[in-house]
Amino acid sequence: MTIMRKIYVCMVFLFLGFCVTAQTKNNRYNFKEHQVDNFIKEVYGDQAQKLIFSNQNLYGSFKKLILERMEIAKKTEIQGKKVPKITAEGMLDTYNSNLKHDATFNINTFNPLKYKLAFFDIQSYRMYEIDNTDYILIIKPQPKLQN
């Protein structure tokens, strides 16, 4: 094998590796910074300022939850595992009685805070099937506080 051919073969394998990595990342959706306040306002309504936004520690916890600990993935990533449906957990409609399940799923507007989920569990990953879709919501465990 000539040196040029070896370089070509190496480049092909390198390129294929990048393609596989890119496809894996495309199967996951991470929430965006601009969604945080909208999610909180939708769930907590006119109590959002008093309960969440005025408390910087709590607001920071919600931002970290949404931006760092939650993601949406394709169900194919958990083949064979049974996970509860997100709607089985019920709606968190204590502060906004008009809160409803989305009639259709849109990954860009889906608000996981609307559901009564174990958001602040420090023990394990939580997964919930998003009803009538090919997606699951993954909530990573909350890091333990350092003493």
Residue 88 belongs to domain spanning: 32-139
Does any domain span residue 15?
Answer: no
Does any domain span residue 18?
Answer: no
Does any domain span residue 74?
Answer: yes
Q: What is the pLDDT along the chain (147 residues), one digit of tens a residue?
A: 566 554 544 444 444 444 333 333 568 999 999 999 999 999 999 999 999 999 999 999 999 999 999 999 998 877 778 899 999 999 999 999 999 988 899 999 999 999 999 888 777 889 999 998 999 999 999 876 655
Whole-model pTM? 0.76
Instruction: Report the 10 Å Cβ neighbour count for 65.
Output: 20
Q: What is the pLDDT of residues 58-85, one digit of tens each?
A: 999 999 999 999 999 998 877 778 899 9
Does any domain span residue 20?
Answer: no
Does any domain span residue 53?
Answer: yes
Does any domain span residue 21?
Answer: no
